Amino acid sequence: MQMDQLPLGGLEIYGTLGPSCQTEETLLALFREGMTGVRLNLSHVNLDQCGIWLEHFHSAAKKAEVTPQFLIDLRGPELRVGELTQPLLLKEGENVILGEGGIPVPDLLLNDLPTDQDILLDDGQILLRSIGCSTGQVECLVKHGGILKSRKSIAVPGLNLKPPTLTDSDYHNLSLAADYGVTGVMLPFVRCKEDLQTLRIVLQQNNTANIRIFAKLENRAGVQMLPELLEYADHIVIARGDLGNDMPLWELPGVQKRIASLCRSYGKPFMVVTQLLHSMQLSAVPTRAEVLDIFNAVLDGASSLMLTGETAAGKYPVEAMRFLCRTAAQALQYLK
C-alpha cells in the first residue's frame, strides 16, 4: 500500500482486461493501486483465446501478493451486431439496412421489429429508427451517427424480445471456467429467476458450483423482477450502460437508488458499473461529477465498483484505477 493510500476494507475493485492493461507491468501497477480483480468481456472472444493476458494477470497478482477475483462476462441473452469487415461510419440522416446485405444482426431482431422503433447501438452512442421492413431486412434512418464496430450491443427500448439465456460460446466458456481460475460469472440482461437457475445448473454440471453469479440488471424487465432474483444471485450488478438505454437518462439515478435500497434491505451485495470515470479514457484527470458519482455509490452501500473501457482501452488505466480506489477509500472514511 502506498503511503497516501487509504484502506478499502472489503470493497471489491475491478478493472476490465483489454489492450490497454494486458501487460504484466500494467496489471501489477493496477493491483498496487488497490484493484482486487478483473473482468473479462467474452462478447468478442473466448477464454481459450486469452491465454497470454490471463498469464500476465495471475503473474501480476502473485507479485502484488493479491488473491484476485476473476469475473467472466458472458454473452447471455444480449443482442449484438455481427461481424463487420471493417468499422462502419453511420452518418446522421442517411438510411442503412439491418440484416441481409447490410449490418448483420440476430434474426430475432428482424422477425419482431416494428416500424418507428428506436434501435440503440454501442451502449446507445448510435441511434437508428426503423422506417420499413421486408423479408430478412429492416431499413433504418440514422438519428445519431457514429462509427460502428463488430459485436457492439443492440438495445430496442420497449420491445420484449426473448433470446435464449446462454449462447453456444457461453456453454463453451463455462466448461473452461475452472481451468482458468474463474471466481465469478456475470450474466447480462437477466430477465427472471429462470435465467439464473439455468446458469446455476450449468455451473453445477461443470463442478463449479462455488463460482459466484453476478446478475446484471440492464433493462426495466430485470429491475421489475429484482425481488425474485435476489435469492438466486450472489451479487446484483447495476449495469448503467444498457440500463440507461432502456429508459430516459433522467430516470436512471432514481432507479439506481431504488436498486441499492432494495439490495441493502435484503443484505445482498451489489456492484455499480459503467462510466464511473468515462472521461479518463482520454483524460488523465476525471470530472468532478465522476468522483462524486463514485463517492455516492459507496455511500449507498455498493460492495464493489468496476471500471470498463477506462482500463480496457483507455489511455490512462493506472491513473483511472488510482482515482477510483482513492475516491472509494475517502467515502469509506466518511462513513466512519
Q: In whole angstroms, what is the distance from residue 150 CA to residue 88 CA?
A: 9
The dihedral sign for the CA sequence 138, 141, 144, 149: positive
Q: Report the 10 Å Cβ neighbour count for 275.
A: 17
User: Quick check: 178 and 111 in contact, CB under 8 A?
Assistant: no
Q: What is the mean pLDDT of residues 19-24?
A: 97
pLDDT of 51 > 90? The answer is yes
Identify the pLDDT of residue 1: 41
pTM of the model: 0.85
Residue 334 is predicted with a pLDDT of: 96
C-alpha torsion 141→145→149→152, nearest 10: -70
Count of beta carbons in the 10 Å neighbourhood of residue 81: 21
Mean pLDDT for all residues in the chain: 94
Residue with cell 454501442: 122
Pick from 289, 292, 279, 288: which is nearest to 319 by CA? 279
pLDDT tens track for 115-144: 999 999 988 899 999 999 888 899 999 999
Report, as an integer, the average pLDDT of 19-48: 96
Q: In this predicted structure, what is the pLDDT of residue 68?
A: 96
Average pLDDT over residues 57-85: 94
Per residue in 88-119, pLDDT tens? Answer: 999 999 999 999 999 999 888 887 788 999 99
Q: Residue 7 above 80 pLDDT?
A: no
Kindly tell me if the per-residue pLDDT of 274 is higher than 70.
yes
3-state SS class at 128: strand
Residue 3 has pLDDT above 50, yes or no: no
* Bridge partners, 128 (sequence order): 119, 142
